[in-house]
Structure formats: structure tokens, C-alpha cells
């Protein structure tokens, strides 16, 4: 995106450097990185960063509006509503695509967003190892808003751990050591001293939850939630049965509360009107099918990881949808 920097980085790049970088990165938590790691960071120009932040600020204004909960009251599937929802999501992740507009300029376009954590601990490790093996131009940082590694980890710790002792906070997931994102869980344990715990390991006594921590039954006072409840519905009957405790009245804090996964999601997109957010419509509210359907994608509201998305949309695809209130049409 910045030709001079890209040319310089590529000129100094060697396969040996990349292999040494990968070896150290993968050696920190062996066998924890299952996905491909890019050979290079992306050098984002200031004006492009400002465009992304402009879109983010606009979306945050909508999310923090007093009427947002009423606006998204139908976003949460009834069978997946969790008790004791708080007033805001502790985390929001925005995914942008890099596009070229009609003026042949780079501009961001929002792909998706979620009131849910991303790889917020792994990103720290990745930046550290990149810095060791490659020359990063002066004035460029992976941390926004003048944060540093230390101040970023401080605020991450404050949000995840809250006022509790780390031993009373758990990172909750379904079989966490089998997840493709497990590298982030290991990094969270390292940086925040918060243990990853499988849903199946929870112990419930009245309204309290416990887990075994080094052989000691330890109370869970706060959950750093990484369970995607759609995923829970795909598990074995035994795991689903165990998962039912999450829908009961519990004496725990959520971070973030599971309901925000649905409130801040594809469901929110039709309410956002911004140059860097593609026009999105609830399918059941579309009165006339666009004539340029090739420029749209059809997405189910209640799915994750790209499942069910239809590109190269046709009239027939739309006609096949039996529950249009649960789909969006996005330009």
C-alpha cells in the first residue's frame, strides 16, 4: 500500500529470514499455530488508517446509542439467550477488506464485525517476533492510539481480569486445545495468567461455577468467553447437555457477555450508513431485487466462519430462501 516501503521490505526479504521467523514463532508454543502465517506485515498509510477509524467511530456511535438494545432485540436466537446481559460489549472486532474505488484509490470496506474477542494476545507475540526478524520502518507500529506493548497488555488485563484475581478468571472454550485459534489461548495464559478451561470441565454448585486448578477446586468469578454458541449447537449431545449450565442463573461475570456476539454482528449492518460500510439490507425488507445481483453477496444472519455465504447471487438463490428475515443482502 506504500510502494517505497513495500519495495524496500521485499528487497531485504529472504526465504531464510522467513523460515527463521516462523521457527521462533512456532517454537514459543509448539504445535499451536495451525494456520498459515504471512511473510510480511501490511504497511498501512495514515489516510487509509483514518478512513478505517472513521468507519469504526461511526459504528461505535450506533452501538452506544441508548436505543441500540431495542434495535437489536431480535438479533439473539431465543434458544441462545443468556441471562444477566451487561450494558456493553467488552470487545468489538472489525474486519475490513482493502478495495480500490472508482478513483483508483485504496479504501476500506467493512466485511464483518463481532462483539467478540479476536486474537488479541497472539497479536502481541506476532509483533514481537516480526520486530526481531525484520526491519520495521520508523514511525510504524501495530498498536493504534499511541499504545505500546506494555500499555496494551495493561488495558487487556484490566478488561479480561477486571477486579478479580487471575485464578478466578477463566478463558472458556469448547475443547480449547483443539481450536485453530488455540495459539491465542496459550498467549492469554502467558500474558494474563488466565487459564483456558474446557466447557466440559466446569463444575456447578448452586449458582456458582468452579474448575480444577492444579488439583484445587477454584471458583470462577469471571469468564473470558470464547465459546461461539452456534458451535455449541453442533457438538455431541453430551457436550450440549453440559453447555446448558451457561443458560442458567449464574453468579459470574461475562467478558464479553454471549448476547453481544449476536447484537454486534451481521445483524447490525443494515443500520449502518457510511461510505466504508457496504450497503446491506435485511432480505425480507427488499422490495425489488437489484438488477446487478453479481455485485452482492447473500449471507445468513446466524452462522459463523463464512458458512452459508452465497456469492454470484442469482434470483433463484433468493427465491430458495425460506426464512428471509434471517438473511441479509450485502453489496
pLDDT digits (tens, 9 = 90+) for 172-211: 999 999 999 999 999 999 999 999 999 999 999 999 999 9
The mean of the pLDDT values for the chain is: 94
Supply the pTM of this predicted model: 0.92
First to last CA, the chain: 24
How far is the CA of 122 from the CAs of 15, 182, 215, in angstroms? 23, 9, 28
Peptide bond into 47 cis (omega under 30): no
Strands 195-198 and 222-225 come out as unpaired
pLDDT digits (tens, 9 = 90+) for 109-141: 998 899 999 999 999 999 999 999 999 999 899
Rounded distance between C-alpha atoms, residue 240 and residue 224, angstroms: 19
Closest C-alpha to 232, from 192, 261, 195, 273: 261
Rounded distance between C-alpha atoms, residue 41 and residue 277, angstroms: 24
Please tell me the predicted confidence (pLDDT) of residue 306. Answer: 58
- For helices 122-133 and 149-161, what crossing angle results, to 10°? 170
Closest C-alpha to 79, from 266, 270, 240, 304: 240
Domain boundaries, the chain: 279-330
pLDDT digits (tens, 9 = 90+) for 301-323: 877 665 788 988 999 999 899 99
Amino acid at each position: 500500500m506504500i510502494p517505497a516501503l513495500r519495495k524496500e521490505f521485499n528487497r531485504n526479504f529472504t526465504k531464510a529470514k522467513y523460515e527463521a521467523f516462523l521457527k521462533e514463532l512456532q517454537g514459543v508454543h509448539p504445535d499451536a499455530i495451525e494456520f498459515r502465517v504471512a511473510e510480511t506485515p501490511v504497511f498501512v498509510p495514515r489516510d487509509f488508517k483514518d478512513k478505517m477509524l472513521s468507519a469504526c467511530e461511526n459504528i461505535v456511535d450506533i452501538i452506544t446509542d441508548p436505543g441500540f438494545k431495542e434495535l437489536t432485540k431480535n438479533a439473539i436466537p431465543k434458544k441462545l439467550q443468556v441471562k444477566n446481559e451487561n450494558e456493553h460489549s467488552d470487545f468489538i472486532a472489525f474486519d475490513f477488506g482493502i478495495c480500490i474505488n472508482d478513483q483508483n484509490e485504496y479504501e476500506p470496506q467493512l466485511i464483518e464485525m463481532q462483539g467478540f474477542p479476536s486474537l488479541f494476545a497472539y497479536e502481541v507475540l506476532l509483533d514481537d517476533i516480526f520486530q526481531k526478524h525484520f526491519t520495521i520502518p520508523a514511525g510504524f507500529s501495530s498498536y493504534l492510539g499511541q499504545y505500546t506493548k506494555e500499555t496494551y497488555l495493561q488495558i487487556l488485563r484490566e478488561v479480561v481480569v477486571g477486579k478479580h484475581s487471575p485464578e478466578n478468571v477463566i478463558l472458556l472454550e469448547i475443547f480449547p486445545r483443539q481450536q485453530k485459534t488455540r495459539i491465542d489461548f496459550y498467549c492469554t495464559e502467558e500474558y494474563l495468567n488466565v487459564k483456558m478451561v474446557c466447557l466440559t470441565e466446569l463444575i456447578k454448585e448452586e449458582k456458582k461455577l468452579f474448575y480444577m486448578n492444579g488439583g484445587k477446586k477454584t471458583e470462577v468469578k469471571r469468564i473470558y468467553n470464547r465459546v461461539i454458541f452456534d458451535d455449541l449447537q453442533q457438538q455431541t449431545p453430551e457436550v450440549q447437555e453440559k453447555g446448558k449450565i451457561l443458560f442458567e442463573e449464574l453468579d459470574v461475570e461475562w467478558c464479553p457477555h454471549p448476547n453481544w456476539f449476536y447484537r454486534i454482528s451481521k445483524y447490525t449492518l443494515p443500520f449502518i450508513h457510511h461510505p466504508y460500510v457496504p450497503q446491506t439490507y435485511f432480505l425480507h425488507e427488499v422490495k425489488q431485487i437489484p438488477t446487478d445481483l453479481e455485485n452482492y453477496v447473500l449471507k445468513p444472519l446466524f452462522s459463523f466462519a463464512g458458512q452459508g455465504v452465497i456469492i454470484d447471487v442469482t434470483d433463484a438463490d433468493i427465491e430458495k430462501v425460506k426464512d428471509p428475515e434471517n438473511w441479509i443482502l450485502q453489496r
